[in-house]
Amino acid sequence: MTLRVGAHVSIAGGVDNAVDNQLEVGGNCGQIFTHSPQVWQDPNIGDEEAERFREATEHELAGPWVIHTSYLVNLCTPKEGLREKSLDSMQKEVDAAAKLGIPYVNVHLGAHTGAGVEGGLDNAASVIDELDVPDGVTVLIESDAGAGTKLGGEFDHLAGILDRTETDIDVCLDTAHAFSAGYDLSTPEAVDETIAEFDDVVGLEHLRYVHLNDSKHECGTHKDEHAHIGEGYIGEEGMERIVNHPDLADVPLALETPTEDGKGFAWNIERVRELRAE
């Protein structure tokens, strides 16, 4: 199986620049924002730059890309105004994905802010089912660290949203988030147990992407802070088993590791390649 690994790269100066940015760090797939994730903003992608992006991706990368939605999107919210903004933002992201030939749009469930777990999942499903998702695009629900009233920290939450929606959706598993949420990944045995539990509760057939990140915090702390591959609390043994686990061998990996201590995406991608037994 070809190792598909890349990073979350910038689209500054045009979305087509993301391909060169990915190649520069040694990646062959990866993730982008279509705009600043801190604000409500529409993707502004011209036809020509979209064509350049599609052609460069086809010729230069193994793929696939995934779009990460704005951090402001909250699918679980009981607040009507925020719900409508989230729905509008999500619709524009799936449309942008279709324009760019990107098969996945990744989103967090968000926080239920008092609606409760069941109410939050119901709210999220209703937003997803109002989307007009273009052919060839799939919404991925990302696992969360589970702080406060945020949903997605438990595999049951991911299974719950899959069960509730009439839309065909799938899942992105973030290793740092899962670890922080309480799923141990720090030893080969723990990785095997966690992947088996994911398969039992959610189903590996729904796992389309992995955000491969180590964690700066211990298992079960619900703290979301990423570390360099093999240098956090998941550690080298855990990371090595993750990238070599037979059930994950062909799942694309996108890194959201930090740039610090003289190490960036290139260092982390090379580390993943070193850990992968070919």
Q: What is the pLDDT of residues 97-139, one digit of tens each?
A: 999 999 999 999 999 999 999 999 999 999 999 999 999 999 9
Amino acid found at 124: A
Residues 120, 168 contacting (CB under 8 angstroms)? no
Q: What is the pLDDT of residues 152-202, one digit of tens each?
A: 999 999 999 999 999 999 999 999 999 999 999 999 999 999 999 999 999
Q: Determine the pLDDT at residue 171.
A: 98
Give 263's strand partners. Answer: 260
Residues 151, 125 contacting (CB under 8 angstroms)? no
Scored b (16 or more CB within 10 A) or e, 116-131 reads eeeebbbbbbebbeeb
Nearest to 109 by CA among 201, 177, 31, 183: 177
Domains in the chain (CATH in brackets) are 5-275 (3.20.20.150)
Q: Determine the pLDDT at residue 200.
A: 98
Phi-psi region of 151 (alpha: psi -120 to 50; beta: other; left: phi over 0): beta
pLDDT at 79 over 70: yes
Average pLDDT, the chain: 97
Would you state the structure tokens that stand for residue 76, as one six-digit string? Answer: 């679980």
